[in-house]
Amino acid sequence: MNIRSIFGFLPPRLLYSQEELPVKDVPLSGKAVVVIQKVGQEGPEPAVTCGEFVKTGGKLFDSRGRLLAFSPVTGTIDEIYDLRCIDREFTAISIAIAEADIWDENSGRIDGYETMDTGSLMATLRDAGYDLALPAGGKADAVILNCLESDLMISINAAVLAGRADSIRRGLKLLKGIASADAVIIAASPALRERAEAIAREGGERVAEVDMVKPVYPAGMNEILPRVLQRKGVRRPLVVSPVAVDSMVTYLEKGFPALDKIITLIDGNNQRVNMRVRLGTPISHVLREGNVRISDGDKLILGGTMRGITAFHAEFPVTADIDAIMIQSRRSVVSMGDTPCKGCGRCVSVCPNGLQPHLLGRYAEFFLFERCRDYDIDYCIECGMCAYVCPSRRALVQYIGLAKKELAKKEGEAAHAVE
Amino acid sequence: MPSNEIRYHNLVVSHAPHAHDGSSFSGAMYTFIAALAPAAVYAVAIYGVHALRVMTLSMAAAMASEFLIQKLFRQPVSVSDGNSMLTGLLFALILPPGVPWWLVVVGSFVAILVGQQIYGGKGGNPFNPVLVGWAAVRLSWGEYINLDYAMINYRLDFSFEYPLSLLRKAGVAGIEGFNYIDLLLGRQVGGMGSSAVLLIALGGIFLILRGHISWRIPASFLAGVAGTALAFWLVSGSLYADPLFHLLTGNIMIGAFFLATEYSSSPVNKTAMVIYGLGCGFLTVLFRSWSNYPDGVFFAILIMNIVNPLLDKIRPAVPGRDKKDGRAP
Ligand code: SF4
Ligand code: SF4
């Protein structure tokens, strides 16, 4: 992708996809994999054994009785093993799918969630893995439904908004209460205007504002969106995505979260299609169903071009936070490295947070992590704009990631020492 | 038996982002050179083979210096990115056409070695390398690049006297003979290419449109010159030249568009760029009015190069940042 005008004086404008893609249903594969991220060396120990029968929506607990995950399918657990994906370690539970879904009768509607007080509702949600990013103090001035996509090339929200309008509307109402917010704002690109309006009205009544946002990356990042709204002065928002709201409502109403997920599948020629996939489906199966081939030298990206993470194998399952699976063919793989910075300042001119990416990169390169902190590294949202425009092709975001990790490690050690 | 064995391909793994806008440093350098090409052609048209000689020699010397220094210090050789070629070309364009060959070679060599490589190479230099080379020859063999008599051997169809020297020696009365259209079209004595004021400015605008330099530095540089010159002129129109004369003579255009904007020695933040440009313009007119040097552009830029790191401390506000504490929430 090379979006640069002949008259390059405007900063590059990376547009989110405005196209609505057809949705293809992916049949269940023979198995589903549930992954649980390990924390530290031990990680939570799942209290399941091979041969155990699980039903769709059934709860999987750890050895201490805490809810770990929901089974997305009905079948028999056939293997529990360790799985790595890039820098993260997971415990994987593989389930051989036995038959058509049998819905777990132990998972049911969360009783009385409509009348619960905010504290217990939030606790209920947190137990199920829904951590609401409420502003400090617990009160938000607005709930913003972020209908822009999470990255370039992805185009799932049109389908989500169309298919789950009622659920999302109910969810927004609930969130408005939880956050004691004064307003609900549906932020969408012009292409989604009608879809957004449909959610903003209940009967004849308007229950939310619709705010049209220019679909220019990185407007769709939760940190940026409140600043680019037409409505000014939103300072302490609760920003949520349609997928998350829908999943949350489904959990409250049925006792288990949304188990199907729409993702955009992008092949090596940038051809795209949307797939409706059961969570836990191995990515290799999605690729097969989409007739997407993968070969040596390609990149397998979970997410989009600017922020996706690359995987080194295709046996990782589709999880709730994966919005796209993208194959980048070897001829379009960009390599970035440690060529010295020339001080041209392009990175500075595109950073949405007004940071100094060239300095962050240089300091990180020479292990001066504390200086990175002086230069506000904590405010970097890793949007990737700086590395996208750097003529020296410096791996700026990777340097920044390194510095953040080292700083966090140091802080962890310091906290440990105090104890 | 189900198998969760992983089938590996040789996949490429890397950090985001997975796209790039296609820009490159060498692309920028060759665009700079292309932007200077009209002025170079102009120099050859006016001064013939002498200009060609100085330009090719200067570029070759700069490139050879970079190659040798990088070999000597076991650095990866990066001559092909066009940076030293540009340095050599810019150095030639600010010289008179008749300079001796050794001066060109020494100047280019100093520009690359002292101006750039001893700071760790491209991107590390605090000063504009071209101007470091120029300052070295100006201070050591100033008479060879003195523009007062440099053109005396050429058959020119315009005055062979350097307008800025006339201004300094004879005051405003001395420059009455100059027609501003002539000055704009480059019919004036100066550096062999830098005197092509209009061509240089057009080249600079091309660079801005292509996104290789920000408009802020050239614009504020020119505004600084105009503003300061206006102030002087308002004080005494018979002692000091008018702003337009200043803008159209000497090295202001090449300075504003091509020298002050050198990546490593100029600021990257918006406010800093404006202050830097204004400072360059202000100092230029100050030197022109009160110093011994007819044209102060190069020293003005070198001085502002020193201030640059300080200026770049003026950073934009980070949204959501608590000013007092400075840490993330
Ligand atoms: S990745 Fe960070 S430093 Fe780079 S442009 Fe985005 S916010 Fe700025
Ligand atoms: S864009 Fe790259 S070369 Fe330019 S200042 Fe930033 S890091 Fe340095």
Question: How many other CB atoms are there within 10 angstroms of residue B154's CB atom?
Answer: 15
Mean pLDDT, range B118-135, rounded to an integer: 95
Same-domain status, A63 and A190: no
Cβ neighbour number for residue B301 with a 10 Å cutoff: 28
Is pLDDT at A88 greater than 90 in this prediction? Answer: no
Structure tokens at B272: 């800093």
Q: How far apart are CA B106 and CA B133, in angstroms?
A: 8
Q: CB of B163 within 8 A of CB of B188?
A: yes
A331, A357, A381 — which closes off a domain?
Answer: A331
3-class secondary structure, A155:
coil
Boundary residue ending a domain (A254, A286, A302)? A254
Inter-chain residue contact A309 with B269, CB threshold 8 Å: no
Is residue B2 pLDDT above 60, yes or no? no
Residues A182 and A124 in one domain: yes
pLDDT of A109 > 90? The answer is no
At residue B328 the predicted structure's pLDDT band, cuts being 50, 70 and 90, is very low
Mean pLDDT in chain A?
90
Least confident of A76-90, A190-204, A373-387, B297-311: A76-90
Does residue A6 fall inside a structural domain? no
B6-11 average pLDDT score: 77
Q: What digits encode the pLDDT tens for the residues A290-343?
A: 999 888 899 999 999 999 999 988 889 999 999 999 999 999 999 999 999 999
A297 plus A397 within the same structural domain: no
pLDDT surpassing 50 at residue B194: yes
pLDDT mean over B200-211: 94
Domain end position, chosen among A233, A254, A275: A254
CB of A33 less than 8 A from some CB of B: yes
What distance in Å separates the CA atoms of residue A401 and residue A386, rounded to the nearest whole number?
13
Residue predicted with more confidence, B200 or A109: B200
ω into B38 cis (within 30 of 0)? no
Given a contact cutoff of 8 angstroms between Cβ atoms, the answer to whether A91 and A148 are in contact is no
What does the alpha-carbon distance between residue B251 and residue B216 come to, in Å, rounded to a whole number?
18
| Lookup: tokens for A66 | 């805490």
Out of A87-101, A293-307, B109-123, pick the least confident: A87-101
The residue whose two tokens read 């990088």 is B70
pLDDT at B166 over 90: no
3-class DSSP assignment, residue B296: coil
The closest CB to that of A3, out of B21, B209, B326, belongs to: B21
Higher local confidence (pLDDT), A100 or A398:
A398
Structural domain includes residue A303 = yes
Report the pLDDT averaged over residues B278-305: 94
d(CA B302, CA B308): 10
Query: B317 contacts in A (CB within 8 Å)?
Result: 354
DSSP state of B94: T
Instruction: Tell me the shortest Cα–Cα distance from B212 to chain A, in angstroms.
Output: 8
pLDDT digits (tens, 9 = 90+) for A248-297: 999 999 988 999 999 999 999 999 999 999 999 999 999 999 999 888 89
Strand (E) or helix (H) holding A194: helix A193-200
| Residues 252-291 (B) with a CB less than 8 A from some CB of A | 263-269
Q: What is the pLDDT of residue B143?
A: 87
Q: Which of A298, A313, A384 sits opposite B16 (nearest CB)?
A: A384
Residue A312 vs residue B279, higher pLDDT: B279
Q: What is the pLDDT of residue B31?
A: 96
- Packing angle, helices B25-47 and B49-72, rounded to 10: 150
Q: What is the pLDDT of residue A189?
A: 95
Q: How does pLDDT run across B247-263, given as a tens digit for each residue?
A: 999 999 999 999 999 99
Instruction: Sort strands A88-97 and A75-85 into parallel, antiparallel or unpaired.
Output: antiparallel
Neighbours of B292 (CB within 10 A): 7
A310 to chain B, any CB pair closer than 8 A? The answer is: yes
User: What contacts A10, CB < 8 A, 6 or more positions away?
Assistant: B211
| Mean pLDDT computed over every residue of chain B | 91
In a domain, A8, yes or no: no
Q: Which helix (H) or strand (E) holds A84?
A: strand A75-85
Q: Do B12 and A299 touch (CB under 8 A)?
A: yes
Looking at the structure, tell me whether residues A289 and A410 fall in a common domain. Answer: no
Say whether pLDDT at B237 is over 80. Answer: yes
Asked whether residue B203 carries a pLDDT value surpassing 90, the answer given is: yes
Percent of chain B exceeding pLDDT 70 equals 95
Distance CA B281, CA B288 (A): 11
Query: Average pLDDT, stretch B220-245?
Result: 94
Nearest to A48 by CA among A67, A35, A61: A61
A113 has pLDDT over 80: yes
Mean pLDDT of B207-228: 95
DSSP symbol at B255: I
pLDDT at B239: 87
Q: A6 CB contacts (<8 Å, ≥6 apart)?
A: none
How many folded domains does chain A comprise?
A: 3
Q: Is the pLDDT of residue B316 over 70?
A: yes
A9 and B209 Cβ atoms separated by less than 8 Å: yes
Q: What is the mean pLDDT of residues B57-77?
A: 96
Inter-chain touch B123–A353, beta carbons under 8 Å: no
Domain ranges of chain B: 25-307
Q: What is the pLDDT of residue B37?
A: 98
How do residues A20-58 score in pLDDT, each as one tens digit? 999 999 999 889 999 998 887 667 888 888 999 999 999
Is residue A242 located within the same domain as residue A122?
yes
Confidence of residue A5 (pLDDT cuts 50, 70, 90): very low
| Domain assignment of residue A358, given as a range | 346-418
Give me the CATH number covering residue A247.
3.40.50.11540
pLDDT at A2 > cutoff 80: no
Q: Is the dihedral of CA B52, B54, B55, B59 positive or negative?
A: positive
CA proximity to A50, closest of A79, A26, A89: A79
| Same-domain check for residues A238 and A269 | no
- Percentage of chain B modeled with pLDDT above 90: 72
Residue ranges with strand state E in A292-334: 299-302, 309-311, 324-328
Q: Does residue A386 surpass a pLDDT of 50?
A: yes
**Distance between CA atoms of A312 and A414, rounded to whole angstroms?**
34
* Inter-axis angle of helices B49-72 and B101-113, nearest 10: 40
Give the Cα separation of B305 and B309 in Å (integer).
8
Here the ipTM equals 0.91
Winning range, highest mean pLDDT, from A355-359, B97-101, B146-150: A355-359
Tell me, yes or no, whether A11 lies in a domain. no
**Of the candidate ranges A1-10, A259-268, B172-181, the one whose mean pLDDT is the lowest:** A1-10
With a CB cutoff of 8 Å and minimum separation 6, the contacts of B58 are: B88, B89, B91, B92, B95, B104, B107, B108
CATH fit for domain B25-307, picks 1.10.600, 3.40.50, 1.10.3430, 3.10.20? 1.10.3430
Q: Which two tokens stand for residue B80?
A: 């092909």
- Kindly list the residues from chain A whose CB atom is less than 8 angstroms away from the CB atom of residue B7: 284, 313-315
Together in a domain, A245 and A308: no
Q: What is the mean pLDDT of residues A55-84?
A: 90
Are A120 and A230 members of one domain? Answer: yes
Residues A128 and A181 in one domain: yes
- A387, pLDDT greater than 80: yes
Among A347, A372, A381, residue to substitute to test ligand 1 (most atoms within 8 Å of Cβ): A381
- Identify whether A66 is part of a domain: yes
Say yes or no to pLDDT of A65 above 90.
Answer: no
Closest CA to B226 of B243, B241, B207, B239: B243
Percent of chain A with pLDDT over 90: 71
Q: Is residue A214 part of a domain?
A: yes
Instruction: Give the closest residue to B85 by CA, choosing from B56, B107, B106.
Output: B56
Interface touch A358/B327, C-beta < 8 Å:
no
Residues A248, A286 within the same domain:
no
Token reading at A183: 């307003």
Q: Where residue A116 falls among pLDDT bands split at 50, 70, 90?
A: confident
Say if residue A268 is in the same domain as residue A392: no
Instruction: Indicate if A357 and A250 belong to the same structural domain.
Output: no
Q: Which long-range contacts (CB under 8 A, 24 or more apart) does A230-236 make?
A: A231/A142, A231/A183, A231/A185, A234/A141, A234/A142, A234/A144, A234/A185, A235/A141, A236/A135, A236/A136, A236/A137, A236/A139, A236/A140, A236/A141
Count other C-beta atoms under 10 Å from residue B45's C-beta.
Answer: 11
Instruction: Show residues of chain B in contact with A342, CB under 8 Å.
Output: 25, 122-123, 263-264
pLDDT confidence band for A62 (50 / 70 / 90): confident
pLDDT at B168: 84
Supply the pLDDT for residue A110: 86
| Shortest distance, CA A412 to any CA of chain B (angstroms) | 16
Q: Is residue A287 part of a domain?
A: yes
- What average pLDDT score do residues B14-36 get? 94
Residue A350 lies in a domain: yes
